[in-house]
Protein backbone atom coordinates (compact mmCIF):
# COMPACT_ATOMS: atom_id res chain seq x y z
CA UNK A 1 0.00 0.00 0.00
CA UNK A 2 1.43 3.36 -1.02
CA UNK A 3 1.68 5.74 1.95
CA UNK A 4 4.24 8.23 0.61
CA UNK A 5 2.08 11.31 1.13
CA UNK A 6 1.10 10.30 4.67
CA UNK A 7 4.75 9.72 5.54
CA UNK A 8 5.73 13.17 4.26
CA UNK A 9 2.91 14.77 6.24
CA UNK A 10 3.90 12.87 9.35
CA UNK A 11 7.46 14.11 9.06
CA UNK A 12 6.15 17.70 8.97
CA UNK A 13 3.71 17.05 11.83
CA UNK A 14 6.49 15.71 14.08
CA UNK A 15 8.19 19.11 13.90
CA UNK A 16 5.05 20.86 15.14
CA UNK A 17 3.26 18.51 17.55
CA UNK A 18 4.48 16.00 20.18
CA UNK A 19 4.85 12.72 18.31
CA UNK A 20 3.22 14.39 15.33
CA UNK A 21 -0.26 13.82 16.71
CA UNK A 22 -2.96 15.41 18.85
CA UNK A 23 -3.81 12.19 20.69
CA UNK A 24 -1.12 9.57 21.47
CA UNK A 25 -2.64 6.34 20.10
CA UNK A 26 -2.94 7.93 16.65
CA UNK A 27 0.87 7.84 16.33
CA UNK A 28 0.64 4.06 15.63
CA UNK A 29 3.94 3.43 17.41
CA UNK A 30 2.75 0.20 19.03
CA UNK A 31 2.08 -1.34 15.60
CA UNK A 32 5.32 -0.14 14.02
CA UNK A 33 4.06 2.13 11.27
CA UNK A 34 3.61 5.82 10.59
CA UNK A 35 0.02 7.06 10.91
CA UNK A 36 -2.17 7.52 7.88
CA UNK A 37 -3.38 11.04 7.18
CA UNK A 38 -7.06 10.98 6.30
CA UNK A 39 -8.39 13.22 3.57
CA UNK A 40 -12.07 12.31 3.58
CA UNK A 41 -14.61 9.75 4.71
CA UNK A 42 -18.04 8.56 3.62
CA UNK A 43 -20.24 5.81 4.99
CA UNK A 44 -18.08 2.91 6.20
CA UNK A 45 -14.97 4.04 4.30
CA UNK A 46 -12.11 6.43 4.90
CA UNK A 47 -9.72 7.74 2.24
CA UNK A 48 -6.15 8.78 3.00
CA UNK A 49 -3.89 11.36 1.33
CA UNK A 50 -2.50 8.65 -0.97
CA UNK A 51 -5.94 7.66 -2.25
CA UNK A 52 -6.20 4.41 -0.30
CA UNK A 53 -9.74 3.30 0.52
CA UNK A 54 -10.19 1.50 3.84
CA UNK A 55 -13.11 -0.04 5.72
CA UNK A 56 -13.16 1.92 8.97
CA UNK A 57 -13.71 0.21 12.32
CA UNK A 58 -12.43 3.12 14.41
CA UNK A 59 -15.42 5.31 13.54
CA UNK A 60 -13.65 8.28 15.17
CA UNK A 61 -13.31 6.11 18.31
CA UNK A 62 -17.03 5.51 18.56
CA UNK A 63 -19.13 8.57 17.65
CA UNK A 64 -19.93 7.55 14.07
CA UNK A 65 -22.54 4.89 14.75
CA UNK A 66 -24.13 5.64 11.35
CA UNK A 67 -20.79 5.98 9.56
CA UNK A 68 -19.14 9.07 8.11
CA UNK A 69 -20.64 12.16 6.51
CA UNK A 70 -24.26 11.29 7.29
CA UNK A 71 -26.40 13.84 5.37
CA UNK A 72 -28.90 14.40 8.19
CA UNK A 73 -26.08 15.24 10.60
CA UNK A 74 -23.81 17.26 8.32
CA UNK A 75 -26.86 19.14 7.03
CA UNK A 76 -27.88 20.06 10.57
CA UNK A 77 -24.38 21.31 11.33
CA UNK A 78 -24.19 23.38 8.14
CA UNK A 79 -27.51 24.99 8.95
CA UNK A 80 -26.41 25.75 12.51
CA UNK A 81 -23.16 27.29 11.24
CA UNK A 82 -25.12 29.69 9.08
CA UNK A 83 -26.80 31.03 12.22
CA UNK A 84 -23.52 31.57 14.08
CA UNK A 85 -20.73 29.28 15.29
CA UNK A 86 -21.03 30.11 18.98
CA UNK A 87 -23.13 32.41 21.14
CA UNK A 88 -21.80 32.01 24.68
CA UNK A 89 -25.45 32.23 25.68
CA UNK A 90 -28.55 30.09 26.10
CA UNK A 91 -30.33 28.72 23.02
CA UNK A 92 -33.31 26.42 22.53
CA UNK A 93 -31.22 23.64 20.97
CA UNK A 94 -29.74 22.94 24.40
CA UNK A 95 -33.24 22.25 25.75
CA UNK A 96 -34.12 19.96 22.85
CA UNK A 97 -30.93 17.91 23.19
CA UNK A 98 -31.25 17.67 26.98
CA UNK A 99 -34.83 16.48 26.57
CA UNK A 100 -33.81 13.80 24.08
CA UNK A 101 -31.08 12.56 26.40
CA UNK A 102 -33.34 12.40 29.44
CA UNK A 103 -35.99 10.58 27.39
CA UNK A 104 -33.55 7.72 26.79
CA UNK A 105 -31.62 7.99 30.06
CA UNK A 106 -34.34 8.62 32.69
CA UNK A 107 -31.73 8.30 35.46
CA UNK A 108 -30.34 11.64 34.20
CA UNK A 109 -33.07 13.73 35.78
CA UNK A 110 -30.95 16.85 35.37
CA UNK A 111 -27.87 17.24 33.18
CA UNK A 112 -25.18 19.63 31.99
CA UNK A 113 -23.61 19.83 28.51
CA UNK A 114 -19.80 20.05 28.33
CA UNK A 115 -17.17 19.61 25.62
CA UNK A 116 -15.37 16.30 26.22
CA UNK A 117 -15.61 13.02 28.08
CA UNK A 118 -12.70 14.05 30.29
CA UNK A 119 -14.57 17.20 31.30
CA UNK A 120 -17.80 15.28 31.91
CA UNK A 121 -16.14 12.75 34.21
CA UNK A 122 -14.13 15.39 36.07
CA UNK A 123 -17.32 17.36 36.69
CA UNK A 124 -19.37 14.32 37.73
CA UNK A 125 -16.76 13.38 40.32
CA UNK A 126 -16.68 16.94 41.64
CA UNK A 127 -20.48 16.85 41.96
CA UNK A 128 -20.30 13.51 43.78
CA UNK A 129 -17.77 14.88 46.24
CA UNK A 130 -19.75 18.07 46.76
CA UNK A 131 -22.98 16.17 47.33
CA UNK A 132 -21.61 13.56 49.73
CA UNK A 133 -19.04 15.71 51.51
CA UNK A 134 -16.55 12.88 51.02
CA UNK A 135 -13.24 12.87 49.10
CA UNK A 136 -12.30 9.34 48.08
CA UNK A 137 -13.14 7.79 44.73
CA UNK A 138 -12.93 4.16 43.62
CA UNK A 139 -11.90 3.47 40.02
CA UNK A 140 -10.90 0.24 38.33
CA UNK A 141 -7.51 -0.75 36.99
CA UNK A 142 -7.61 -0.56 33.19
CA UNK A 143 -10.67 1.67 33.00
CA UNK A 144 -10.01 5.00 31.32
CA UNK A 145 -12.01 8.05 32.36
CA UNK A 146 -10.15 10.79 30.54
CA UNK A 147 -6.87 12.50 31.33
CA UNK A 148 -7.71 14.47 34.47
CA UNK A 149 -4.99 14.09 37.09
CA UNK A 150 -6.85 12.05 39.68
CA UNK A 151 -7.91 9.33 37.25
CA UNK A 152 -4.69 8.47 35.44
CA UNK A 153 -3.62 5.79 37.93
CA UNK A 154 -3.44 2.46 36.08
CA UNK A 155 -5.75 3.82 33.39
CA UNK A 156 -6.37 2.11 30.07
CA UNK A 157 -6.39 3.43 26.49
CA UNK A 158 -3.18 5.20 25.42
CA UNK A 159 -1.51 4.70 28.80
CA UNK A 160 -1.68 0.91 28.30
CA UNK A 161 -0.73 1.24 24.64
CA UNK A 162 2.45 3.15 25.50
CA UNK A 163 3.15 1.21 28.73
CA UNK A 164 2.69 4.27 30.95
CA UNK A 165 1.45 2.98 34.35
CA UNK A 166 0.50 6.46 35.53
CA UNK A 167 0.97 9.82 33.87
CA UNK A 168 4.09 11.84 34.60
CA UNK A 169 3.42 15.34 35.87
CA UNK A 170 0.67 14.18 38.21
CA UNK A 171 1.56 15.03 41.84
CA UNK A 172 1.04 12.26 44.35
CA UNK A 173 -1.52 14.41 46.10
CA UNK A 174 -3.77 14.38 43.06
CA UNK A 175 -4.23 10.62 43.26
CA UNK A 176 -4.11 10.29 47.06
CA UNK A 177 -7.90 10.00 47.21
CA UNK A 178 -8.16 7.61 44.24
CA UNK A 179 -8.60 4.00 45.31
CA UNK A 180 -7.96 1.22 42.80
CA UNK A 181 -10.07 -1.92 42.50
CA UNK A 182 -9.81 -4.87 40.11
CA UNK A 183 -12.46 -4.98 37.40
CA UNK A 184 -14.82 -7.97 37.65
CA UNK A 185 -13.53 -8.69 41.16
CA UNK A 186 -15.93 -8.32 44.09
CA UNK A 187 -13.38 -8.93 46.82
CA UNK A 188 -11.19 -5.95 45.89
CA UNK A 189 -14.21 -3.64 46.02
CA UNK A 190 -15.43 -5.09 49.31
CA UNK A 191 -11.96 -4.60 50.84
CA UNK A 192 -11.91 -0.91 49.90
CA UNK A 193 -15.38 -0.27 51.29
CA UNK A 194 -14.48 -2.19 54.43
CA UNK A 195 -11.50 0.10 55.05
CA UNK A 196 -12.75 3.44 53.68
CA UNK A 197 -16.55 3.04 53.51
CA UNK A 198 -17.64 6.30 55.13
CA UNK A 199 -14.99 8.28 53.23
CA UNK A 200 -15.89 7.11 49.69
CA UNK A 201 -17.83 9.65 47.66
CA UNK A 202 -18.32 7.54 44.55
CA UNK A 203 -17.33 4.50 42.57
CA UNK A 204 -16.84 5.14 38.85
CA UNK A 205 -16.83 2.36 36.26
CA UNK A 206 -17.04 1.77 32.56
CA UNK A 207 -20.06 -0.58 32.71
CA UNK A 208 -18.48 -2.46 29.81
CA UNK A 209 -14.77 -1.71 29.85
CA UNK A 210 -13.57 -0.62 26.41
CA UNK A 211 -10.19 0.99 27.11
CA UNK A 212 -8.23 -2.16 27.88
CA UNK A 213 -9.92 -3.69 24.90
CA UNK A 214 -13.57 -4.71 25.17
CA UNK A 215 -14.05 -6.45 28.51
CA UNK A 216 -17.69 -7.06 29.50
CA UNK A 217 -18.76 -7.20 33.14
CA UNK A 218 -19.36 -10.70 34.42
CA UNK A 219 -23.02 -11.55 35.16
CA UNK A 220 -24.28 -9.74 38.24
CA UNK A 221 -21.19 -7.57 38.68
CA UNK A 222 -22.83 -4.22 37.97
CA UNK A 223 -25.70 -5.10 40.30
CA UNK A 224 -23.13 -5.91 42.98
CA UNK A 225 -21.61 -2.44 42.50
CA UNK A 226 -25.06 -0.88 42.75
CA UNK A 227 -25.80 -2.67 46.02
CA UNK A 228 -22.47 -2.04 47.74
CA UNK A 229 -22.46 1.67 46.91
CA UNK A 230 -26.00 2.05 48.26
CA UNK A 231 -25.02 0.15 51.41
CA UNK A 232 -22.20 2.60 52.14
CA UNK A 233 -23.89 5.83 51.03
CA UNK A 234 -21.54 6.26 48.05
CA UNK A 235 -22.66 7.24 44.56
CA UNK A 236 -22.40 4.95 41.55
CA UNK A 237 -21.14 6.69 38.41
CA UNK A 238 -21.41 4.99 35.02
CA UNK A 239 -18.90 6.33 32.53
CA UNK A 240 -20.94 5.76 29.38
CA UNK A 241 -18.86 7.97 27.11
CA UNK A 242 -18.38 4.90 24.89
CA UNK A 243 -21.37 2.70 25.77
CA UNK A 244 -24.00 5.45 25.81
CA UNK A 245 -26.30 5.10 22.78
CA UNK A 246 -24.02 2.27 21.53
CA UNK A 247 -25.14 -0.79 23.46
CA UNK A 248 -28.74 0.41 23.33
CA UNK A 249 -30.66 3.65 23.05
CA UNK A 250 -30.45 3.78 26.84
CA UNK A 251 -26.81 2.76 27.01
CA UNK A 252 -25.32 0.11 29.27
CA UNK A 253 -27.71 0.94 32.10
CA UNK A 254 -30.63 -0.15 29.95
CA UNK A 255 -28.65 -3.02 28.39
CA UNK A 256 -27.74 -4.49 31.79
CA UNK A 257 -30.70 -3.20 33.80
CA UNK A 258 -28.69 -1.35 36.46
CA UNK A 259 -29.36 2.31 37.32
CA UNK A 260 -26.48 4.57 38.44
CA UNK A 261 -26.70 7.82 40.38
CA UNK A 262 -24.65 9.79 37.85
CA UNK A 263 -23.84 9.16 34.19
CA UNK A 264 -21.35 10.61 31.74
CA UNK A 265 -21.97 10.54 27.99
CA UNK A 266 -19.89 11.57 24.99
CA UNK A 267 -18.96 10.43 21.49
CA UNK A 268 -22.30 9.35 19.95
CA UNK A 269 -24.30 11.98 21.85
CA UNK A 270 -22.35 14.71 20.00
CA UNK A 271 -22.88 13.26 16.54
CA UNK A 272 -19.16 13.54 15.77
CA UNK A 273 -18.73 17.04 17.21
CA UNK A 274 -17.00 17.94 20.52
CA UNK A 275 -19.82 17.47 23.03
CA UNK A 276 -20.29 15.47 26.22
CA UNK A 277 -22.76 15.35 29.10
CA UNK A 278 -22.88 14.58 32.79
CA UNK A 279 -26.05 14.22 34.79
CA UNK A 280 -28.05 12.17 37.22
CA UNK A 281 -30.36 12.43 40.18
CA UNK A 282 -31.87 15.87 40.55
CA UNK A 283 -30.85 16.24 44.20
CA UNK A 284 -27.20 15.65 43.22
CA UNK A 285 -27.22 17.93 40.18
CA UNK A 286 -28.84 20.75 42.16
CA UNK A 287 -25.50 21.03 43.97
CA UNK A 288 -23.99 22.36 40.72
CA UNK A 289 -23.68 26.13 40.23
CA UNK A 290 -25.65 28.33 39.90
CA UNK A 291 -28.04 26.30 42.09
CA UNK A 292 -25.32 25.02 44.39
CA UNK A 293 -21.69 25.50 45.32
CA UNK A 294 -20.10 22.87 43.06
CA UNK A 295 -18.58 25.03 40.34
CA UNK A 296 -18.27 24.01 36.71
CA UNK A 297 -18.40 26.22 33.62
CA UNK A 298 -17.37 26.26 29.96
CA UNK A 299 -17.02 28.93 27.29
CA UNK A 300 -18.15 26.59 24.50
CA UNK A 301 -20.47 24.34 26.52
CA UNK A 302 -23.72 23.84 24.63
CA UNK A 303 -22.11 25.04 21.38
CA UNK A 304 -24.99 25.37 18.87
CA UNK A 305 -23.19 23.52 16.06
CA UNK A 306 -22.28 20.58 18.28
CA UNK A 307 -25.78 20.54 19.78
CA UNK A 308 -27.29 20.45 16.28
CA UNK A 309 -25.17 17.40 15.42
CA UNK A 310 -26.21 15.68 18.64
CA UNK A 311 -29.92 16.33 18.06
CA UNK A 312 -29.69 15.05 14.48
CA UNK A 313 -27.90 11.86 15.52
CA UNK A 314 -30.28 11.06 18.39
CA UNK A 315 -33.29 11.65 16.13
CA UNK A 316 -31.73 9.34 13.56
CA UNK A 317 -31.30 6.70 16.26
CA UNK A 318 -34.98 7.07 17.15
CA UNK A 319 -36.03 6.69 13.50
CA UNK A 320 -33.88 3.60 12.84
CA UNK A 321 -35.66 0.72 14.60
CA UNK A 322 -33.23 -1.96 13.39
CA UNK A 323 -30.08 -0.05 14.39
CA UNK A 324 -28.97 -2.12 17.36
CA UNK A 325 -30.09 -5.47 15.96
CA UNK A 326 -28.13 -4.80 12.78
CA UNK A 327 -24.87 -3.59 14.30
CA UNK A 328 -24.95 -6.35 16.90
CA UNK A 329 -25.51 -8.94 14.17
CA UNK A 330 -22.60 -7.56 12.14
CA UNK A 331 -20.33 -7.55 15.20
CA UNK A 332 -21.46 -11.09 15.97
CA UNK A 333 -20.34 -12.26 12.53
CA UNK A 334 -16.91 -10.73 13.07
CA UNK A 335 -16.68 -12.24 16.54
CA UNK A 336 -17.63 -15.68 15.24
CA UNK A 337 -15.01 -15.41 12.49
CA UNK A 338 -12.35 -14.51 15.04
CA UNK A 339 -13.22 -17.47 17.25
CA UNK A 340 -13.43 -19.84 14.27
CA UNK A 341 -9.96 -18.71 13.23
CA UNK A 342 -8.62 -19.69 16.65
CA UNK A 343 -8.31 -16.13 17.91
CA UNK A 344 -9.26 -14.99 21.40
CA UNK A 345 -11.89 -12.26 21.21
CA UNK A 346 -14.36 -10.45 23.46
CA UNK A 347 -17.58 -8.80 22.32
CA UNK A 348 -20.07 -6.51 24.01
CA UNK A 349 -22.80 -5.50 21.56
CA UNK A 350 -21.09 -3.74 18.66
CA UNK A 351 -17.78 -3.41 20.53
CA UNK A 352 -15.16 -6.12 20.09
CA UNK A 353 -11.44 -6.80 20.51
CA UNK A 354 -9.06 -9.56 19.44
CA UNK A 355 -6.70 -10.42 22.31
CA UNK A 356 -3.45 -12.20 21.63
CA UNK A 357 -3.38 -14.41 24.69
CA UNK A 358 -4.55 -17.95 25.36
CA UNK A 359 -6.38 -16.96 28.55
CA UNK A 360 -9.77 -15.26 28.95
CA UNK A 361 -9.43 -11.48 29.26
CA UNK A 362 -11.54 -10.30 32.17
CA UNK A 363 -9.51 -7.50 33.77
CA UNK A 364 -6.45 -5.25 33.57
CA UNK A 365 -3.88 -7.95 34.40
CA UNK A 366 -5.17 -10.46 31.85
CA UNK A 367 -5.33 -7.73 29.21
CA UNK A 368 -1.76 -6.61 29.92
CA UNK A 369 -0.55 -10.19 29.46
CA UNK A 370 -1.38 -10.07 25.73
CA UNK A 371 1.32 -10.43 23.07
CA UNK A 372 1.38 -6.90 21.65
CA UNK A 373 3.95 -7.90 19.03
CA UNK A 374 1.58 -10.49 17.63
CA UNK A 375 -1.23 -7.94 17.70
CA UNK A 376 0.94 -5.57 15.63
CA UNK A 377 1.38 -8.31 13.01
CA UNK A 378 -2.38 -8.83 12.93
CA UNK A 379 -3.04 -5.09 12.64
CA UNK A 380 -0.62 -4.65 9.74
CA UNK A 381 -2.17 -7.64 7.95
CA UNK A 382 -5.62 -6.12 8.34
CA UNK A 383 -4.38 -2.75 7.07
CA UNK A 384 -2.83 -4.41 4.02
CA UNK A 385 -6.22 -6.07 3.49
CA UNK A 386 -7.96 -2.69 3.43
CA UNK A 387 -9.22 -2.79 7.03
CA UNK A 388 -8.63 0.19 9.33
CA UNK A 389 -8.85 -0.76 13.02
CA UNK A 390 -7.57 0.78 16.24
CA UNK A 391 -3.74 0.63 16.26
CA UNK A 392 -3.58 -0.73 19.80
CA UNK A 393 -4.18 -4.07 21.50
CA UNK A 394 -6.03 -2.17 24.21
CA UNK A 395 -8.78 -0.50 22.19
CA UNK A 396 -12.05 -1.73 20.72
CA UNK A 397 -13.39 -2.11 17.20
CA UNK A 398 -16.59 -0.16 16.54
CA UNK A 399 -19.18 -1.53 14.14
CA UNK A 400 -21.48 1.01 12.50
CA UNK A 401 -24.82 0.93 10.70
CA UNK A 402 -22.95 1.92 7.54
CA UNK A 403 -20.97 -1.34 7.45
CA UNK A 404 -22.50 -3.37 4.63
CA UNK A 405 -22.72 -7.14 4.36
CA UNK A 406 -19.92 -6.85 1.80
CA UNK A 407 -17.76 -4.91 4.28
CA UNK A 408 -18.32 -7.54 6.96
CA UNK A 409 -17.60 -10.44 4.60
CA UNK A 410 -14.41 -8.80 3.36
CA UNK A 411 -13.31 -8.35 6.97
CA UNK A 412 -14.16 -11.97 7.78
CA UNK A 413 -12.02 -13.15 4.87
CA UNK A 414 -9.10 -11.00 6.07
CA UNK A 415 -9.39 -12.57 9.53
CA UNK A 416 -9.37 -16.06 8.01
CA UNK A 417 -6.32 -15.26 5.88
CA UNK A 418 -4.38 -14.08 8.92
CA UNK A 419 -5.03 -17.34 10.75
CA UNK A 420 -3.77 -19.54 7.89
Do both 79 and 215 map to the same domain? yes
Do both 207 and 272 map to the same domain? yes
Do both 402 and 254 map to the same domain? no
Provide the whole-model pTM. 0.95
Q: How many CB atoms lie within 10 A of CB 291?
A: 10
Across the beta sheet with 344-348, the strand order is 344-348, 351-355, 397-398
pLDDT in tens, 340-349: 999 999 999 9
Contact 205, 260 (CB under 8 A): no
Do both 31 and 111 map to the same domain? no
Catalytically annotated residue among 144, 256, 278, 378: 144
Do both 24 and 106 map to the same domain? no
- Domain stop point among 318, 336, 359: 318
CATH value at residue 168: 3.40.640.10
CATH value at residue 335: 3.90.1150.10
384 is catalytic: no
pLDDT in tens, 92-104: 999 999 999 999 9
Do both 296 and 338 map to the same domain? no
pLDDT in tens, 315-369: 999 999 999 999 999 999 999 999 999 999 999 999 999 999 999 999 999 999 9
Do both 64 and 140 map to the same domain? no
Do both 143 and 275 map to the same domain? yes
Do both 162 and 251 map to the same domain? yes
Closest CA to 392 of 363, 420, 367, 418: 367
Catalytically annotated residue among 48, 56, 185, 239: 239
Whether residue 162 has pLDDT greater than 70: no
Whether residue 157 has pLDDT greater than 60: no
pLDDT at 167: 67
Give the 3-state secondary structure of residue 30.
helix
Do both 77 and 178 map to the same domain? yes
Catalytically annotated residue among 57, 261, 267, 328: 267
Buried b (16+ CB within 10 A) or exposed e, 238-254: bbbbbbbbbbbbbbbbb
Q: What is the mean pLDDT of residues 30-50?
A: 97
| Total number of domains constituting the chain | 2
Do both 157 and 275 map to the same domain? yes
Domain that holds residue 228: 71-318
405 is catalytic: no
144 is catalytic: yes
Contact 233, 269 (CB under 8 A): no
Amino acid sequence: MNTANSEKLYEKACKLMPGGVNSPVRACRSVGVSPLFIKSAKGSKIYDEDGNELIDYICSWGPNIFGHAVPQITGAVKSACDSGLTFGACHKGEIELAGLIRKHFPSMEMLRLVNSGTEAVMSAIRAARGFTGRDRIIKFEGCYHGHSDGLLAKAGSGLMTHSIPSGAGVPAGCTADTLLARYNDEASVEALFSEYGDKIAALIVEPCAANMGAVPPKPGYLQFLREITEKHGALLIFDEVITGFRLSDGGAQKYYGVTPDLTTLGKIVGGGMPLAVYGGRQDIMECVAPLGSVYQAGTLSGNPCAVAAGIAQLKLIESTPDLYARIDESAGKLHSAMLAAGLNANRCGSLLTVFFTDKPVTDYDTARACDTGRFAEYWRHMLDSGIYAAPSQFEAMFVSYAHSDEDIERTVQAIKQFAR
